[in-house]
Amino acid sequence: MRIDILRGDLTTRGVDAIVNAANSSLLGGGGVDGAIHRAAGRELLEACRELRRTQLQDGLPVGSAVATPAFKLPSRWVIHTVGPNRHAGQTDPALLASCFRESLSVAAGLGARSVAFPAISAGIYGWDARQVAEVAFDAVRWFSSSSSGRGADNSSLELVEFVLFSEDTTAVFRTVFESSPGFEA
Ligand code: APR
């Protein structure tokens, strides 16, 4: 599994699935959530409203992930996940790890071969980008060594992108990646 770290706009990535840093309502917001909804078009909100009417009547829990089509976006799917909100006292890294792990598992379950993540929780939800990067790379390591991450026969993921919106965050992710055990830079 290859990991790419790049500065860019997640909504432009032509991967199979992009991951949205949503909130539990799934009804849109600011940040990358707002950008994804704007680029995907109204049908994305309709698909999220349908999820709220059916399988997610109480909203999407922190650390969980669910997929919808991506509509007008270049990717095939959007995987929505809800990161922990430091401002609401959600400081347990296991919640953030769950966002990455669940999103990777949902992507593999869809048969996606490529997925792109933003820096979940590193914006409005107030987490430090360095800690987000550490949690993210640990989750990718866990996934690639687990059964759900093994071999192309179960159409596992081949490419994981981290798409960062600022030069600073990109530099932080690159620095953490280069010092992460188990990944060749
Ligand atoms: N592409 C890639 N990354 C982006 C983009 C974009 N188009 N827009 C913003 N980002 C970056 C931010 O700079 C930050 O580093 O995504 C990271 C996550 O920031 P947020 O989008 O604020 O997400 P988060 O911190 O998880 O807060 C989630 O914000 O947008 C609302 O509805 C969302 O309530 C939820 C909360």
Ligand 1 atom closest to Cα of 35?
A: 7
Cα 70 to ligand 1 centroid, rounded to whole Å: 17
Sheet of strand 114-117, all strands in order from the earlier edge strand to the far edge: 2-7, 159-164, 114-117, 17-22, 77-82, 65-69
Tokens read off for 148: 């759900």
Check residue 144 and give its pLDDT. 87
* Residue 94 CA to ligand 1 centre (angstroms): 19
- Give the closest residue to 119 by CA, choosing from 111, 127, 110, 109: 127
The residues lining ligand 1, judged by C-beta closer than 6 Å to any ligand atom, are 9-11, 21-23, 29-35, 83, 118-125, 163, 165-166, 169
Q: Can you give the pTM of this predicted structure?
A: 0.96
Helix or strand holding residue 105 (H, E): helix 93-110
User: How confident is the model at residue 152, as a pLDDT?
Assistant: 41
Amino acid present at 21:
A
User: Does CATH number 3.40.220.10 belong to domain 2-178?
Assistant: yes
Contact 33, 21 (CB under 8 A): yes
Give the tokens for residue 68: 């919808």
Per-residue pLDDT of the chain (185 residues; tens, 9 = 90+): 899 999 999 999 999 999 999 999 999 999 999 999 999 999 999 999 999 999 999 999 999 999 999 999 999 999 999 999 999 999 999 999 999 999 999 999 999 999 999 999 999 999 999 999 999 999 999 998 886 555 444 557 999 999 999 999 999 999 999 998 776 54
Q: Is 168 an annotated catalytic residue?
A: no
Catalytic residue among 9, 33, 128, 138: 33
From the CA of 126, give the closest atom in ligand 1. 25
CA geometry: angle at 161 spanning 147 and 184, to 5°? 70
